Chain A
């Protein structure tokens, strides 16, 4: 009976990559499958020894050879370069035969495995993932190279379970790891935590520790897991988290509403602040743009929608102000800003923006403008005021100081009496100036002056009465055309004062040698009441003096008794009543002063 091997063609026909070699590594027999594996032709160049078969990787073979001679089953990984140049890896297992002279060799192509292993190792390095294992029975711990690297310990460092856990930062981090590891040992529950370790070099590092337990007979025998250095990522994410938190607090506390508009699907998402801003309940909001449109003040609607459209088409940035009417009916000023996001083709897909309630800012702004206006007016008055202080007070006081100096130094004895006379005049002027100044200040500060209905004709009559001596002396022709019932809403003493001033001015600046004709008319023009004083006196050259006519201490006639303060006081009194005074005149052709009083409703701010 033939041996089975001979019946079936021996090794050559085995469907496995196997070979029979002797102690010199010479090939005695091999399967065709093996030859195919190495791309060799079975008929012709059959290799004579192992080196020829796998190629010139003598180092690997020498190692193998030595082990074979020791008589053990031997495993070796060898590399082989194919005729086409590709690198292949084989796992070679050699089994000694009982005769002690020969060995069976089995080849396995592990190129794919080797490649993926390499890849995995590389990935581990790049991802900084290490592995570890705890044998709970022998209490021995194995760390991979990367695990050691993460801990910054030397290559030969031998950890145990305790030293391993002691790397975790004292406090919450160590407590946590001890907790999860204990639980894993007791219950076999896996864990996945992110904690801080303090490396052997003293550096703090964020790591991710993933662990699992192997339970045999209800008892954990082994713990294993991976260990990843996530320091960079964690720190970034913590930083980002802090930033996000801060931003959220800022947004929440600032009354800024954030909206997100899905342009493609016409969906509008609001954050909580938006609902507060628009005083809309979340459940009442449909989430479409039309819902927003509906809240915009009708006067601002067209412009606001245009702004959105322009932003989407890319014509301009969305940065605008509009008013809304909230669901409670209040009007709010909203400042809206937004940014359009586009796909790769540049089509608008999304618009995100912020709304801020600027009503209060608007209000304050308006108030400031009003204040500024008032302040400007007051500043002008104050400037005039400064001028009078500078001019009239100082000119008289300097006169006094010069005159008294002369008296004391007896500079010109013949003029002593004259000096005394001039001192008297100067002090009288000073006194008069102070009285007038007091008048001016009173207008600007007197809170007791009450608005009331003032009969125009009645007031004028009493003014005329008060100067009847002057009228008797100069005999002017005064024609009054005023409706008996015409009333203005004003401050009575101011009206009387203005009338008196215009009246005495006309008399004072009448033409010499010609009777003064003065017409006083009043007209109710609906939106205001105009009272005019027209005379045929000297008139004023407005080209030259118009700009400063109502300023303090401007006189234009070189008149000895002109003090130049009358029109200034009148102007201030008119200002205080929200009324206006204007003048029309030509030199030598008389003058017309017109007083414009606003209708009552515009004057109620002073009530």
Chain B
């Protein structure tokens, strides 16, 4: 009996408990409103339904938040991700639009290749400012955040570049093995990073740099290289997210692609339990954070919340989750529970 209560308490104390509860409540609300919401059917040879839409919609934010988690773990922050997304779309689509044969796979691949190159350069630039020059990350990445959209505008000539290209369209709207390609791409990079950070020393090195850069450097960790690496990775993931976003609408919208996504990504990381002070990070936590935010956005439409109340609704949910997660509130809640019921014996971890 007491062991059951203890383990229930442990579950409730887990830092992902409240985000997962929020996710479940949002999904439940959607099901109550539209009973077929969670149904997955096969349509045109691929899976179709609410959960599949959420997975596909999550892919962009997941990629951006993945890079952001690593950057935040080193005590950094990357505000330039939204602008990098816009640049990725602008470079890729303007090349495809300028080519003679937009339907050819080779053209699409070379366009993607050059966009990746540009984004990697931006990552190197960000990393250089932070790791070598020693500018504070929030300032260093602000440069590209503001200038980046201007660069994207220059590339597209101030227009919204629209193209028709079946291979490029596959990135966001295609299906493979019945699943959306976008979700598969994001899932692949997520698993790859989870494996690399946990099966090699990279994860520990990132955390040590985040906890104390000086001490880790003195202990022989190449802090500069690690920091540089995470900014390049972050720019790369933002670039892939930019492909998915632009492929989704088959247009490069320099002004709106990935606008404010840096804030959503930071929020996802924080909901996932990674501290902005750096150090310990959790990719699974970030995944949960991303799902909460995407489902929240999605539920607005399903629940039919009036357009001018959308921001308020989102804010309330996010504040609630953050409050329930905060150590002070959790401590108070626990104290109250103890006062009413005899406390279970604390088991040392």
A and B assemble together? no
Interface residues of B (CB under 8 A from A): none
